[in-house]
Amino acid sequence: MRKVFLVSFDSSSDGILEQLAALLSCSHYPILYRTTAMDDFSMLGPGLLVKGQEDLDEEALLGEDRRIYETLSGIADPLRRNTSAHLLSSGEVDRIDVMSEAVERGDLVLSMIDIGSRERIVHASHFSSRVMSRDAFSLCLVSKMRRFRDFKEVQFLNRELLDLSMGFHGVVCLSPRVTMTGSSIDIAHMIRHLTEMTFRSGVINLDQADLMTTLKGGSMLVMTWGAARPGGDPATTSIKDALSNPLCQIDLSTVRKALVNVAGSSELTLEDSLVASEVLRKRVRPDCRIIWGVSVVEENGEDQEVFLILATTPMELLTHWYSIQS
């Protein structure tokens, strides 16, 4: 069974990860997490399979899709500025190498850092390069824990995010509205949806190859989710709920690419996903490329949810955050 790894690289991210560990304890997939204060990974969710034991669900998992691995393995090691392992001590390199040994092909690795912790960016990037060499999918969850001092900081962080994107398959920017208030419930739901989308085959499947398409060109991702509300069309109300979610702190007119994954019971139809995509299309720029999918998740019961992945440029995202900070 494929696994999810959650790793924090600074004290600010440790606090978020500790909250997430409690919220994700009932995950359907094994989640291994590690803060900077921990010597080894702790595990959440179902126990790992004994080596050689047959996994009845393995055919439905991303790990069996050879085309995805060809896509990931074909990415040349990125040239990083200021993220060389030579900037780390031998002890730090050894520690990161030991951490990466637990990662296997097809796993989803989520590294969490505060964009203000510059020295930790080197650690996270080196860890990412190690897990990418193992054909795992590596995303960086970036948080902003403090207010912007001035617009010069926006310009500096723009360069930092562009550099950071070279060390990962992609960068997900967590809304300051969520990280600065200490509320992690929406981040936990975001990780749940991301895991379901990438590990479980859908009626219309979205996977890591679609994420790679969305990430091209140094795009920054904003991930959000929403649930259908009573008194209206499920597809429409779930999109509106996702766009009003605290995670969705983004100027929609700057969104250039988007993934829309509608999840629900076996009663879910393709029309639901099409309607959701059209509702989103009216909110974003006219030339936005939208990829949509449908996933059947029986655990949802009759509830319908939508998972949105929106791509924009780092400067446009940071400028929006700066303009709305109170």
Residue-wise pLDDT tens digits, 206-238 = 777 778 878 777 789 999 999 988 877 888 899
Asked if 75 and 120 touch (Cβ cutoff 8 Å), the reply is no
Instruction: State phi, psi for 253 to the nearest 5 degrees.
Output: -70, -10
Q: Give me the mean pLDDT over the 67-86 stretch.
A: 42
Cα 51 to the center of its chain, rounded Å:
28
Q: What is the pTM of this model?
A: 0.85
Percent of the chain with pLDDT over 90: 45
pLDDT at res. 304: 85
Among 315, 297, 314, smallest CA distance to 306 is for 297
Query: Residue 245, SS3?
Result: coil
The packing angle between helices 234-243 and 270-281, to 10°, is: 40
Tens of pLDDT, residue by residue over 231-242, are 778 888 999 999
Query: Residue 291, SS3?
Result: strand
Question: Domains of the chain, with CATH numbers?
Answer: 4-202 (3.40.50), 220-324 (3.30.1330.20)
Query: What is the pLDDT confidence band of residue 152, given thresholds at 50, 70 and 90?
Result: very high
User: Partners of 204 in the beta sheet?
Assistant: 294
pLDDT at res. 300: 56
